Structure 1
Amino acid sequence: AAGAVAARHLSRIDSSNVCIIGAGTQAKLQLTALNLVRPIKCANIWARNFEKASLVAEELSRKLGFQVQASNNISEAVKSADIVVTTTPSTEPILKADWLHPGLHITAMGADQHTKNELDPQCLKLADLYVADSISQTVKQGELRAALDAKIISSDENFPELGKIINKKEKGRSSPKDITIVDLTGTGAQDTAIATYALKKAIEQGAGEIFHN
């Protein structure tokens, strides 16, 4: 849900080509959610395991009704994309800074621990806009943490949080040519909101089961 919300507010409105890095459950969920907020026409999935990426691509093509294919060339998949979503547990950068191009939006989801890092720290330096779900978290366990450790980004710099952009308290994308990055480490507020919504729908539909201690 957070990835789709971020894309709605930060990616170009005409974004139609997606690159998903990773082939796990998150990869499937993120592409499915993106299809709800942008006019997606095609997608490439790259993973270290090409066979797994192929199976996921085939499944998503059937489910979503547009072309999804596995890619064995990550740089070309990124360079052709309007939106890139990283969903891996990598501890070393996968997405290189020299693959970035004007108009690209990146949603980085994998760095939810201080040992994880999917983006070349130089990506943050090249971006026109970096957005965190929670600055207090991304300085410790996000892509921002890696850029700070590499001294590519100054600790004095101020970055907006996604919630403030959604509420129009901070400025988001200002040009179709902007390169934007959102760093999603996961917040308790997001989890609570999703759980509350799920409970509300379950009660309305008489679904689910109540367990008593």
Structure 2
Amino acid sequence: MSHDIRIVTESQLRAAIGLDLTAVDVIERAFAALATGDVIMPPILSMDMPDINAEVDVKTAYIPGFDGFAIKVSPGFFDNPTLGLASLNGLMILFSAKTGLVEAVFLDNGYLTDIRTAAAGAVAARHLAPSTVETAGVIGTGVQARIQIEAAHLVRPFTRVLVHGRDPERAATCARDLAETLGITAEVATDPAALVAQSQLVVTTTPSRTPVIKAEWLHPGLHITAMGSDQEGKNEIAPRALLNADLYVCDRVSQCETSGELEAALAAGLWTNGTPPELGQIIAGTATGRTSDDAVTICDLTGTGVQDTAIATHARQAMGDTGTTIRT
């Protein structure tokens, strides 16, 4: 018996889906579902290939009540820019939760991952950042640096952003792009400590394996979203900062223990605060979030399969008849 599969390209997806509050709400609901305990989300399949400066991650999740579930493959080949190619690409496959048949293949080159990752940052800011943010800071200068700040601006409309990166020219380009996109003041911060000191909301978007934020930089009224650590060995936040913060939140504790900021704190023998709350629990009201505007909060985003299933389902609904249908 034959069935139809819809093939959708990156350009078609970009025309239909953007980073907006609808996408943020989609990802927020996915986190809330994760807090129920009914979601089935296996550990990330992660393959590091250091000899070719590459990595591949595979993520998936089944959310009861959803019509489908997605499997997402994300290769990162970090020497690609020398070949004139993007570092990141990939695709998502949406399967029917009723029959297991493939319903859609999104040849998005990582676009849907970018959207759902940035939307998760907005969800973290919505629930954990101080109620008023005047200055935001970002450490990193790539695609996620830009869209994490765009996403945070949706929920905390700050008027100034500071950008820090290892390459001053890339930092300046990133700042110019953000100023143009958001219509706000954007400046390069050559000193990351000064960036943190002046910001109420900071996002780290690097692949660093040594901390880019030190524990002594924390100050009252600060929220940090760390989203760069998504593989074993990566570490953007000094382990002691997790203890010094008033609240440390994971997207998924089991992932943060092996590939997030919690990994380094555990390895150093510093983490003694038991099991951290998860973002979904705070959304659902089963765990306590920020208690005052003076509190210091850190959210550790490693990227979850529920985000992929949620954004793929959203994409399928938004695309309608767009794309190419093949019959198998």
TM-score clears 0.5:
yes
Q: Distance in 2 between matches of 1:144 and 1:5?
A: 20
The structural deviation recorded for 1:199 is 1.6
The one of 240, 253, 257 aligned to 1:135: 253
Q: Does 1:173 align with 2:290?
A: yes
Give the match for residue 318 of structure 2.
Answer: 201
The one of 149, 154, 162 aligned to 1:31: 149
Give the match for residue 109 of structure 1.
Answer: 227
Q: Give the letter for the 2:275 counterpart.
A: N
Calculate percent identity across the aligned residue pairs: 47
Q: Give the letter for the 2:203 counterpart.
A: V
Q: Distance in 2 between matches of 1:99 and 1:164?
A: 28
The within-5 A match list for 1:56-135 is: 56-135=174-253
Q: Distance in 2 between matches of 1:109 and 1:211?
A: 37
Give the match for residue 49 of structure 1.
Answer: 167
Q: Is contact 1:23–1:53 with CA below 8 Å preserved after alignment?
A: yes
Q: Does 1:157 align with 2:274?
A: yes
Q: Distance in 1 between matches of 2:149 and 2:324?
A: 30
Task: Give the alignment's Cα RMSD to 1 decimal.
Answer: 1.2
Provide the TM-score with structure 1 as the length reference. Answer: 0.95
The structural deviation recorded for 1:198 is 1.7
Give the match for residue 2 of structure 1.
Answer: 120
Q: Distance in 2 between matches of 1:139 and 1:157?
A: 12
Give the match for residue 145 of structure 1.
Answer: 263
Q: Is contact 1:105–1:179 with CA below 8 Å preserved after alignment?
A: yes
The structural deviation recorded for 1:66 is 0.3
The structural deviation recorded for 1:208 is 3.8
Provide the TM-score with structure 2 as the length reference. Answer: 0.62
Paired residues, number? 210
Q: Does 1:188 align with 2:293?
A: no
Q: Is contact 1:50–1:71 with CA below 8 Å preserved after alignment?
A: no
Q: Distance in 2 between matches of 1:209 and 1:53?
A: 39
Query: Residue by residue, what CA displacement relative to the aligned partner does 1:14-44 show, whole Å, maximum 9, x if unpaired?
Result: 1121110000000011011111101211000
Q: Is contact 1:45–1:70 with CA below 8 Å preserved after alignment?
A: yes
Match of 1:75, SS?
helix
Q: Distance in 1 between matches of 2:178 and 2:292?
A: 31
The structural deviation recorded for 1:207 is 3.6
Q: Give the letter for the 1:52 counterpart.
A: R
Q: Give the letter for the 2:229 counterpart.
A: A
Larger strand percent = 2
The structural deviation recorded for 1:13 is 1.1
Query: Residue by residue, what CA displacement relative to the aligned partner does 1:126-168 show, whole Å, maximum 9, x if unpaired?
Result: 01001000001001111011111111112x6121100111111
Match of 2:295, SS?
coil
Q: Does 1:22 align with 2:131?
A: no
The structural deviation recorded for 1:212 is 5.5
Relative contact order (C-alpha < 8 Å, sep 6+): which is higher? Answer: 2
Q: Is contact 2:138–2:203 with CA below 8 Å preserved after alignment?
A: yes
The structural deviation recorded for 1:211 is 5.2
Q: Is contact 2:253–2:275 with CA below 8 Å preserved after alignment?
A: no
